[in-house]
Chain A
Amino acid sequence: MLRFLVTRALWMVPSLFVISFLAFVLIQLPPGDYVTTYIATLAASNEVVDQNQAADLRQRFGLDQPMIVQYWKWITGILLYGDFGLSFEWQQPVSELIWERMALTLVLTFSTLLATWGIALPVGIYSAVRKYSIGDYVATFFSFLGLAIPSFLLALVLMYLAAVEWGQEVGGLFSEKYQTAPWSWGKVLDLLTHLWIPVIILAVSGTASLIRVMRANMLDELNRAYVTTARAKGLSEFRLLMKYPVRLALNPFISTIAWLLPNLVSGSIIVAIVLSLPTAGPLLLQSLMAQDMYLAGAFILLICALTLIGSLISDILLAIVDPRIRLE
């Protein structure tokens, strides 16, 4: 087990190295660079930037150097000083920008996750145990509905309802007066009153698909011989369900942790934009469009690192909950 962990961790180093290089190349692939975008923005507001000024900017940002040199500077900065560079657009260190956003993203994602699992797992179990009952059909109907409705549409509808019918402030995670205020109890409460709309929207499609998956997993397990054995032992129906089939039906969910972490950053971008949430997704999109390459590069690196760490965590958890899996 320990040997497995060490080798896996060691393998992550070259993987990350290759990924960081690829990410850097990919960001540079579109024609032009940040300065081109910058000039275009200025031109839109009728300001003219001449070639000399552009060359000046390029030199200041180091964009005139060959790509490999730029990459080298970037990666050594990260490795040696933990410096992820400066965001061109925001004129702020990338790390500051990211961490601020990540904290809120974390809160949102885990609230959503709790809501999703809290609703989907019991409903899925019920649906499977009472297969083809009224309750199962109702759950099935709503889960297909949830699957079919695009999240951004739901976001728009909920925003409309909240704003027009209930008179609630929508959009963002804070009221105006707390927007820039330092953290306090008031701000936390304010966050909670704003959090429920994005949580509901993000949870709907997740819950819907999870109900289907849990139902299918449970149906597989319910017919296994060990369930009959447990019944023949005299266990009550609820106890045997929880101890045997549910326990085994949950195993596949552990492997989903692998993509849960990267979803922190890149998931639900559209909903976040519609609701103007201050999370990581919109920032990533914006940085890519503006060719703000250090910011975008840091995000992509983060996503990849989280993917690797996530799959390692789910492998370890799987080995812990399922004794049949041996890590060697």
Chain B
Amino acid sequence: MTGSNVVLEVKDLVTHFPTRTGVVKAVDGVSFKIERGKTLCVVGESGSGKSVTARSILQIVDTPGRIVSGSMMLHRPNGTSVDLAKLDPRGRDIRAVRGAEIAMIFQEPMSSLSPVHTVGDQIMEVLRLHLKMSKADARARTIELLKQVEIPNPDRAIDRYTFEFSGGMRQRVMIAMSLACNPSLLIADEPTTALDVTTQAEILDLIKRLQQRHGMGVMFITHDMGVVAEIADDVLVMYHGKVMEEGPVDRIFHAPQDDYTKMLIGSVLKLERKADIRLKRAPIDEKAPPVVEIKNLVMHFGSGANLVKAVDDVSLIVRPGETLGIVGESGSGKTTMGRCLMRVYQPTGGQMSYRRADGSVVDLVAADKQKLRECRREIRMIFQDPVGSLNPRMTVAQIIGEPLLVNEIAKGQELDDRVADLMRQVGLEPAWRERYPHAFSGGQRQRIGIARAIALNPRLIVADEATSALDVSLRSQMLDLMMNLQDKLGLSYVFISHDIGVIRYMCDRIAVMYRGKVVETGETEQVCDAPNHAYTKALLSAIPRPDPRARRMGQRHRYVA
């Protein structure tokens, strides 16, 4: 590491958030260096302080956070250096650094751009501010930047608004904006987390190429170890505001020293293969009549020119005790499919034959209110967002007990006992029953959601992205819990996810959805290891593997339909 190549040198950075209950040490003595042309990945789970570290560099930490001590030396190409920590956060000096020498891109490209200004306006602003360009020059340069980030028809795109772009295109606009003044350091805060895997692969690709062309240093913040393995030169592992381990990417993955790093890598690798619980289990009886048989299901939204075929002639079966994974990117119709199964949406056409416990078969598409009510006791749902799907004004006992109460199955002492029993089953302490959801962590909240789903002894559970909002170390725990419950209670799952790792870990069979159609179904191993359909191949090739020795962005297939 030669001194002249270092762009930014952070030493003992401490950032605190004073709160009513005491000081939160979000960043607690962090040191690292970033070199020109190199990528430093900062990894950690939620609350590790990785985002606050990034924001501290530009002094844009949200209130009431403030930098307490430490230094952040920015080394300029002309040989001078400046300590960013010493600058006034509202002063002219730090503002001259922001957007010009150090640029930043954020996680949510939709909310990170103003919805009422054109993208051109927002990019030109940077050029006019830092480079004092004239309007015409700034416009010409902006079109050129949009071309660099491969936005089609840049001379028309410049006058569009963010909501007229797709997620990937929006992130390209953000990147164009950050590159406007040729910064020497680009800070990317989870820039691909909100994107589909294929879009993520393209954005990572783009950042890599632009980095090579401009020779900038990149600080890339992510929680996805696959992405780290794919792009990092060096890795910084953070936990509770502290650096746990730092080193070249190969060493972090193949010879981690720190226990936390080992645990993190371990839980990622665990999701790279099938769960032990599943490997030990006897095979599913293929001759047993299916719990659900979906035939030619169609769900259309809108009409005329705006017609969207969200689910387009889908046929699937779910066998008793089986987990069917539905995988696809956003807009593939997988969530709509799940909601049709619950009859939250009234399908446009097709059949969904549900076989009840007594052997009678109900068509959920045509079922009347009474039938539907009975069937819905047996088909339950687990939601993606463990915060949004729990009523903040109800106690845990009320939340879990609600389905029992509404369906008049238990009340009084019996209800209390059932709730306590359910809480034990999902690994929650029954003594916590009177607490409200905000007192629980993300993983515990998802357990509450699971307890509520199994309260009525269902036979089928639709889990829509049930683990997407959870940190990777919690993900396998949650999946293990779900599989244990499945074996104990004889459940069938429809497991909807965009995460092929989670699907492979847990599912017996997979259906791959693309634009409302099921393009491929089959046994998990067959679909994951030897996919037949070109789209499945493209999807699988876009997923970064958590192994820096097997980088494969270069050999990615693209699927154009």
Measuring CB to CB, which residues of chain A are less than 8 angstroms from any residue of chain B? 223-226, 228-237, 243-244, 247-248, 251, 321-324
Contacts and interface: CB of A to CB of B under 8 A. Distances in A.
Contact of A324 (B95, B111, B113, B161): B161
A316 to B, nearest CB: 16
Given A228-B60, A323-B116, A233 B161 contact: no
B112 interface: yes
A251 to B, nearest CB: 8
A229 B100 contact: no
B302 to A, nearest CB: 13
Given A225-B108, A324-B163, A232 B103 contact: yes
A225 B103 CA distance: 15
A232 B99 contact: yes
Contact of B95 (A223, A235, A243, A251): A235
Given A233-B177, A235-B125, A323-B161, A228 B106 contact: yes
Interface in B50-72: 55, 58, 60, 62
Interface string B93-104: 001111110011
A248 B60 contact: no
B126 A234 contact: yes
A247 B116 CA distance: 9
B112 A226 contact: yes
Contacts of B99: 232-234
B116 A324 contact: yes
B114 interface: yes
Contacts of B62: 223, 228
B129 interface: yes
A243 B111 CA distance: 16
B125 A229 contact: no
Contact of B112 (A223, A228, A247): A228
Interface in B110-158: 111-118, 125-126, 129-130
B90 interface: yes
B125 A226 contact: no
A313 to B, nearest CB: 19
Contact of A231 (B97, B98, B126, B174): B98
B125 A321 contact: no
Contacts, number: 72
A298 to B, nearest CB: 41
A160 to B, nearest CB: 46
Contacts of A232: 58, 60, 98-99, 103-104
A231 B114 CA distance: 12
A236 B111 contact: no
B116 A234 contact: no
Contacts of B90: 237
Most chain A C-beta atoms within 10 Å of own C-beta, residue among B100, B129, B130:
B129
Interface residues of B, number: 31
A226 B111 contact: yes
Contacts of A223: 62
B114 A244 contact: yes
B125 A233 contact: yes
A225 to B, nearest CB: 4
A323 B160 CA distance: 10
Report which residue of A230, A243, A251, A322 has the largest number of chain B beta carbons within 10 angstroms of its beta carbon.
A230
A235 to B, nearest CB: 7
Nearest to A239: B129
B116 A322 contact: yes
A243 B130 CA distance: 17
B129 A229 contact: no
Given A226-B115, A234-B126, 4 more contacts: A223-B62, A234-B97, A234-B98, A324-B116
7 smallest beta-carbon distances between A and B, as pairs: A234-B98, A234-B99, A233-B99, A225-B111, A225-B112, A234-B95, A232-B104
B533 to A, nearest CB: 37
Contacts of B100: 234
Given A228-B60, A228-B106, A323-B161, A234 B114 contact: no
12 contacts: A224-B111, A232-B58, A232-B99, A233-B125, A233-B129, A234-B97, A237-B90, A243-B125, A247-B116, A322-B116, A323-B116, A323-B161
Contacts of A247: 114, 116
Nearest to B187: A232
Contacts of B103: 232
Interface in B10-62: 55, 58, 60, 62
Contacts of A322: 115-116
Contacts of B116: 247-248, 251, 321-324
Given A225-B108, A236-B95, A323-B161, A231 B60 contact: yes
Contacts of B114: 226, 230, 244, 247-248
A305 B104 CA distance: 51
Contacts of B95: 234-236
Nearest to A323: B161
B525 to A, nearest CB: 41
A234 B97 CA distance: 7
Contacts of B118: 323
A133 to B, nearest CB: 12
Contacts of A226: 111-115
Nearest to B181: A234
A324 B55 CA distance: 30
A237 to B, nearest CB: 6
Nearest to B161: A323
Nearest to A247: B116
B133 to A, nearest CB: 14
A244 B162 CA distance: 14
A248 B55 CA distance: 24
A322 B161 CA distance: 10
A234 B113 contact: no
Nearest to B174: A229
Nearest to B164: A323
A297 B457 CA distance: 66
A318 B190 CA distance: 34
A226 B103 CA distance: 14
A321 B118 CA distance: 12
Contacts of A251: 116
B161 A225 contact: no
B130 A234 contact: yes
Contact of A235 (B129, B161, B163): B129
Contact of A225 (B97, B98, B106, B130): B106
A230 to B, nearest CB: 8
B129 A324 contact: no
Contacts of B112: 225-226, 228-229
A251 B96 CA distance: 31
A232 to B, nearest CB: 4
A89 B126 CA distance: 67
Contacts of B96: 234
Contacts of B115: 226, 248, 322-324
A321 B117 CA distance: 10
B126 A233 contact: yes
